Amino acid sequence: MSALVFELNDAGLIVADESGILLESPGFAIVEPKLAIVGEAAFHKARLNPRWTNNRFWDELSLEPVDKPTAQIRSHADLAYAQLDDLRKTLDAGDREVVFAVPGSFDNHQLALLLGIAKECALKVTGLVDAAVAAAAQADVDGDLLHVDMLLHRVVLTRIRRDARLTRVGVDNVGKVGLAVLRERWVDLIADAYIRNTRFDPLHLAETEQALYDRLPGWLGELEHAESTLLDMQSGPKTHRVTLTRESVLDRVRPQYEAIVDQLRATLAAHPATVLLTHRLARLPGLAAAIARAAGAEPAELAPEATARGALAHLDHIRSEGEALSFVTALPAPPAGNGDIPDSQRKIRNVPISPQTGALPRPTHLLYRSRAYAIGAIPCQVGRDTAGLRVGGPLNGVPAIFSIYTRGPRIVLESHGAADAFVNDERVGGKAHLELGDRVRVGSASGEVLELIALVDRDGA
């Protein structure tokens, strides 16, 4: 069986293998007198048991005693053990090889402690790699890189030098601006709206407060493509409704966003680089756009499985022999783009022009059957089986007909020859640059069509 990659980001620990992501488990624990509840179950009970909830044990991993120790849980290390052991049992890891991908915020003492915890869990850990470097090893982006990720309690910016290798050369942390504080700010915003408009206080009862946290991701997702959304909450026989606007969501976390952008701007001023955003950060309302303005260019968005893919692709460079594991902070760089992709002859459709630049907006997504798939540095693959086209990646055994990805400021289609690919009804052999509005067809004239689209803000930029 293939190796397992554990990406230890407490916003959601991801475990993946060559088939893709197997599960995601937030770094939450509820410490009860006789047991500890961890992961998803703890997250969905956190507001019901706030005094017994801990979500800092990964961020502050140590042997220091917790505030309310029990016979089983005395330190943050014990909580980390509980979550890793829960993942091991859930996955039936057995003798499967395990690689840990860790954020740059971990210090040497925490890395050593982590390996000791893993040994107690009977996990067969054979490698330890920086998560940002592993993710960057899958990105077809030229030049130096700045990988930006969000954890529960901090944002980590990892500087990566690119030559023949991708080497971590620096890490900057922005504290007190992680996902936990953003959630708190947004929950308070929604509660204020309910109190102001309906006199219903959802924070008065633990059950409705927990419901706010549980439903928050869905509400924020609705604001990704809309200026406002209607929220409804049940309290007894009554249903309370308020409107949540995208503008109010951005205003509530403006200080936190500005702290992130200020650090990014300072880092880029001293060390120019292409920005790589993890999916955790890129999906937050307005943050990717703010980073793009600060960077002066669109950042590349990484797929959720980017770190795992990078680690699995470079297992031979990450594995260590014996008891002592090396912490890998450099991996071979993927071949740099040679910049010689011929432009396909296009029949450009009538698409909107950016009022700020007078140019076509850059495509951000691939539209297929009313679903939009993000285009980023990690290739978005398109294949075909008996049910139709498969879009995304990995395709789990379905041959890829072509891939679409970003290379610097351009969008690239790379044909893999499994079937003919056409751009605006002209066959593509090898590679082609794509523009907004291009229509990509697979196979015959009656084949299914995918369209290059752009998500824009209110003023069309």
Tell me the torsion sign for CA atoms 60, 62, 64, 70.
Answer: positive
What is the domain-level CATH number for residue 237? Answer: 3.90.640.10
Question: Looking at the domain assignment, is residue 393 inside a domain?
Answer: yes
Sign of CA dihedral 454, 406, 378, 129: negative
Please count the other Cβ atoms lying within 10 Å of the Cβ belonging to residue 397: 9
Residue 188 lies in a domain: yes
Predicted pLDDT at 11: 98
CB 157 within 8 A of CB 423: no
Q: Is the dihedral of CA 396, 400, 404, 406 positive or negative?
A: positive
Same domain, residue pair 325 and 371 = no
Q: What pLDDT is stored for residue 393 in this prediction?
A: 64
Low pLDDT (below 70) residues in the chain: 336-360, 393-397, 408, 417-418, 444-446, 456-461
Listed residue (99, 170, 139) closest to 378, CA to CA: 139
Shared-domain flag, residues 245 and 120: no
pLDDT at position 360 is 54
Q: 430 in helix, strand or coil?
A: coil
**Rounded CA gap, 418 and 105, in Å?**
43
Q: Residues 298, 409: contact at Cβ < 8 Å? A: yes
* C-alpha–C-alpha distance, residues 308 and 301, integer Å: 15
431-434 and 410-415: which strand pairing? antiparallel
Are 216 and 111 members of one domain?
Answer: no
Q: What share of the chain is helix, strand, coil (3-state, %, to 5)?
A: 30, 30, 40
Say whether both 314 and 409 belong to one domain.
Answer: no
CA distance 272 to 297: 12
Q: Is residue 345 part of a domain?
A: no
In contact, 11 and 183? CB cutoff 8 Å? no
Query: Range of 403's domain?
Result: 365-453
Distant-in-sequence, close-in-space partners of 227: CB < 8 Å, separation ≥ 6: 245, 246, 247, 458
> How many angstroms separate the CA atoms of 340 and 431, rounded?
9
**Number of structural domains found in the chain:** 3
**Same domain assignment for residues 320 and 381:** no
Domain boundary among 252, 282, 317: 252
Q: Is there a single domain that holds both residue 190 and residue 312?
A: no
Residue 282 lies in a domain: no
Pairing relation of β-strands 53-54 and 29-31?
A: antiparallel
Q: Cα-flanking dihedrals φ and ψ of residue 224, to 5°?
A: -65, -30
User: In the beta sheet, which residues pair with residue 403?
Assistant: 381, 414
Nearest of 156, 148, 155 to residue 178 by alpha carbon: 155
Q: What is the pLDDT of residue 336?
A: 58
d(CA 165, CA 251): 41
CA pair distance 319, 128, nearest whole angstrom: 8
Do residues 115 and 228 share a domain?
no
Q: Which CATH number does the domain housing residue 94 bear?
A: 3.30.420.40
CATH number, residue 448: 2.60.200.20
Burial group, residue 394, by CB count within 10 angstroms (0-12, 13-18, 19+): middle
Residue 310 has a pLDDT of 96
Question: In this structure, is residue 438 part of a structural domain?
Answer: yes
Tell me how crowded residue 239 is: count the other CB atoms within 10 A of its CB. Answer: 11
Residue 118 falls within a domain, yes or no? yes
Distance CA 387, CA 433 (A): 28
Q: What does the pLDDT read at residue 445?
A: 61
DSSP state of 46: T
Task: Indicate the residue type of 99.
Answer: V
Shared domain check, 105 and 27 = yes
